[in-house]
Amino acid sequence: MAHTASELARFLGCAMEGDGARVISGVAAPDSARASDLIYVDNPKHLERAAASAARCAVIAPGLALAGKTLLRAANPKLTFARAAEWLLPPVPIAVGIHPTAVIASTARLAAGVAVGPYVVIEGGVEIGAGTEIGAFCFLGANAAIGEQCRLYPRATLYAGARLADRVILHSGAVVGSDGFGYVEAGGKRIKFPQVGAVEIQSDVEIGANTTIDRGSLNRTEICAGAKLDNLVHVAHNVYIGENTVIAAQTGVSGSVVIGRDVALGGQAGLGDHCRVEDGAVIGGQAGILPGKIVRSGHIVWGTPARPLEKFKEQFAWLGRLPELAQRIHLLEKRVEADHPLNG
């Protein structure tokens, strides 16, 4: 959607310098931008790239100069750029209307403006809020509930009873409400422990492609408002994830883990069962939290088993020197043997 620089400045609440009549229709990185694209500059080291860009309009931090372009001044250029992108490039519809191939139970309740794509299956008792879009081949199990303005990309799956609040995004292949991994040993066999609890995802949560979220065993699995989960994340039964927490790809969260708000988990992190990560903590990529352990609020940990970042960096530096140290020890052993030969 095209707008003038003046219109964009008013929408963003930015001060503008330069030609307000310039038309902006997209966003891009400086190197690949067209004349009608918007770019952003939040650091002096990027000024040269921005100056060479074909883009004629830039969001720029206070105190920086960029000749020959229309400038939108913003204290946080990256955030302002993201808001501009949402306005300039609204999401492409996932579905429009109700496709004739969709299978919708007579007891399902669809609010105004719900769109359902080809070959979707919606079982009995399902409730879907206004403006929600359901992509092709999605499956919504009996009595599942979806709020308003949600977006379910093709082949997302909600098991029976799963609940999503408003503006939740599920990417392709995401599964919400599958059985947790719980068994009881008896007579050399493993007997399935009941997996009959709930799963609730609050408003403004985004779930990446092929991410799986188990229902609670007897209680519930809960993901709080604003949390963002990357692709290929696994969340086990009875897990609690706090508001605005972000979890990167290939992370595994074991059963009954409690994660606070504003936590950041790096890719391939592993959290053992019943551990707790308090508000604002940071878990580094490939870090491992042992079962039952606690990561305190605001701490940064790395490594397996996870330890404070400074300790990890110190130990990692020594680890890199192991070949050198082994050689030194070998030479010292030879000297000792030469000075003190063993008696035959």
Q: Is the dihedral of CA 9, 14, 19, 22 positive or negative?
A: negative
CB 268 within 8 A of CB 247: no
Q: Let me know if 299 is a catalytic residue.
A: no
CB 215 within 8 A of CB 233: no
Nearest alpha-carbon partner for 178 in 226, 133, 144, 127: 144
| φ and ψ of 236, to 5 deg | -85, -175
What tokens does 15 get?
Answer: 């001060």
Q: Rounded distance, CA 308 to CA 288, Å?
A: 12
| φ and ψ of 281, to 5 deg | -75, 160
Q: 58-67: which pairs have CB atoms within 8 A and are 24 or more residues apart?
A: 59/12, 59/14, 59/84, 66/41
| DSSP 3-state percent helix, strand, coil across the chain (nearest 5) | 20, 30, 55
Q: Which of 46, 99, 237, 330 is catalytic?
A: 237
- Cβ neighbours of residue 240 under 8 Å, at least 6 residues apart? 221, 222, 224, 257, 258, 259
Neighbours of 336 (CB within 10 A): 10
Instruction: Please report where in the chains the tokens 């007897």 appear, as a residue.
Output: 218
Which amino acids are annotated catalytic? 237
